[in-house]
Structure 1
């Protein structure tokens, strides 16, 4: 599967390596082209996943605020709920299209 923004592949991995959580596909950290991500200071803590790290996604000269996120240190109970460790996996929102 691929995460694509205006023709640029931001992440790519076999579907079996991704994790689906609440309708979003989470890509393994090694599959993400981190050069297109910039850490965001936006705070958020999910009640069951834990503290979130948002990223803004680079689209040429434009920076799309908070269009990607991950959970660097999820709550332990979250692993049981999801079925595996999803630490640092990255999901995308809005303009970033996830396709097969």
Structure 2
């Protein structure tokens, strides 16, 4: 598996060699994200097979926080149990390389 990195304006906010790919999105394990850049939001969405997603705002301290740029499934449905707590990012807000 390739190394995966998530960056915002050159700042690494997550990186790992152990991730899951679902529907074309890389999901980073909870230990791979740099918590200091993440703030939970009140946003939630529902996926028919993964369950209810929660969101984070990503803020690297540059004065331009990225609201709801990342999401995760704290209690996914059984079909998505492999991504419990894993974090994915919107490609139009965060640069992902693998």
After TM superposition, give the deviation of residue 45 of structure 1 in Å: 1.2
Q: 1:78: Cα distance to partner? A: 2.8
| TM-score, length of structure 1 as denominator length | 0.87
The yes-or-no answer on 1:7 pairing with 2:5 is: no
Match of 2:57 in 1: 56
Aligned to 2:36: 35
Unaligned runs of 5+ in 1: 80-84
Gaps of 5+ in 2: none
Alpha-carbon distance in structure 2 between the residues aligned to 1:39 and 1:72: 12
- Aligned: 1:96 with 2:98: no
* Aligned match of 1:44: 45
Aligned to 1:82: none
Q: Matched residues in 2 for 1:71 and 1:43: separation?
A: 10
Displacement of 1:95 after TM fit? 2.3
Structure 1 ranges of 4+ moved more than 4 A: none
The one-character-per-residue Cα deviations of 1:67-90 (angstroms, maximum 9, x if unpaired) are 0000011001334xxxxx210000
Following the alignment from structure 2 to structure 1, what is the Cα–Cα distance between the partners of residues 28 and 80? 17
2:69 — aligned with what? 67
More strand by share: 2
